[in-house]
Structure formats: structure tokens, C-alpha cells
Amino acid sequence: MKKLLLGITILFMGLALTGCFASDELSAFEKTTGNIITTVNRFETIENDELNVQLLNQLESSKVKTLNLTLDTSDEMTDHEKIEHIIQLYQSVSSAHQQNTTLRLEIKDLWTTTQEQVSQFRAAELTLSDADKTTITDYKVILAVKGLEVKDTIGDVQTLIQEVKDNFNLEHLDLITANLEQVLDILTLRYEFMVYLQTVITDVNQSILSYIT
């Protein structure tokens, strides 16, 4: 939390300087969003062998074995239930990662369109309306703040997945579960951020397009 708060403080100082030196609001938006795109492109790629069939088969085999255990009447999950939950988490993490990868590629294409349209906008020596200047500036600030939170997760997914692989046995079911839940939380956070980023870029693209057409 302290790290995030410090980052936000530095961020607003940087935004203030950017506002002073950028030629216009669009330039400041380009700079901030370009940095955000760089952050998004640094999100870890979960390779297929990190969530592979072999590990899932091991889980399925272990799940069958735990069926022979004495029925546990306590409120705690049995090993069998934990394994079922882990399998579900694996599937959820895999789906979430694929969803994020697809969205990241869509954002990449959108950003390319933004850069092309801004070039046309500048070539025509156009000027944004006061309302559009305010909207774009607001987008820039919100993106920068939200971007700090997701940037702080870079590297965490790989670390958590590696710890799962290194402790993949019945003795560490709780650790496996906790790590996969954290991974899923991070992927969800990134997805929600990228959805907002996609919405912002789309809106800005539409605004710029209205000037150059």
C-alpha cells in the first residue's frame, strides 16, 4: 500500500510536469497511454506447459485416491474437495489468461488506429474543443492511476505459478489453492483494467475521427 501511495504521489507530480511541457492535451494523453500500453505488453504469458494436461491428470488421479479416505464431517474441505477446487481454478486461470491475451491484441490494434488518426489530426492542424480537451485529460489521469495498480502485479503471476509447480503434491494443496486464487485475482484485475483502457481508446478514437472526416 505504501508503495502504491508513493507511486501515486510521484505520478501526480509527473502529470503536472507533463501538463506543463506537453504541446497539448492530446500529446499528454498519447504519452501516458503509450506508457500504459508498454505496461500491458509486459504482462506475463502463461505458457501451455505451465497449465498442462499432465498436471491436471495428476490431480484427477489424486482425486480418485482420496475417495477412499474416511468421510470428514468437519466444516473443513476434504482433500478430495480441495483437489476438485484446484482443478476448477486451473481451468478458470487458463480461461482468464486466454481472455486477457485476446483483449490485449485488440487493444494493440486500437492503439495503432489511435496513432494513425492523431497523425492525420496534426497534419490537418486541427484543435480539440474545450469539452474534448477536458475528457481526454480526465482519461489520462484515471488511466495513470489505475495503471499503477496493475503495473505493481507484473512478475507476481510467474512467481505464484512457479511456486505451484515446485510444490505440486498432496501436502501442499492449501498453498496451491491460495496461489491459484491469487493468480485468478490478478488476471481479473488486469482484465477489468484492460476493458477500461479499451473503452477509453475507443472513445478517443471516435472523437478524433469526428475531426478528420
Tens of each residue's pLDDT in the chain, 213 residues? 545 444 444 444 444 444 443 458 999 999 999 999 999 999 988 876 666 656 666 666 666 565 555 445 556 778 888 888 998 998 899 999 999 999 999 999 999 999 999 999 999 999 999 999 999 999 999 999 999 999 999 999 999 999 998 888 888 999 999 999 999 999 999 999 999 999 999 999 999 999 999
Total structural domains within the chain: 1
Residue 89 exposure: Cα atoms within 13 Å on the Cβ side: 23
DSSP-assigned letters across all residues of 76-109: SPPHHHHHHHHHHHHHHHHHHHHHHHHHHHHHHH
Domain that holds residue 115: 2-69+76-212
pTM: 0.82
Q: What is the structure's pLDDT at 78?
A: 83
Separation CA 201–CA 112 (nearest Å): 10
Q: What is the structure's pLDDT at 87?
A: 87
3-state secondary structure of 142: helix
Identify which of 84, 90, 89 has the alpha carbon closest to the alpha carbon of residue 54.
90
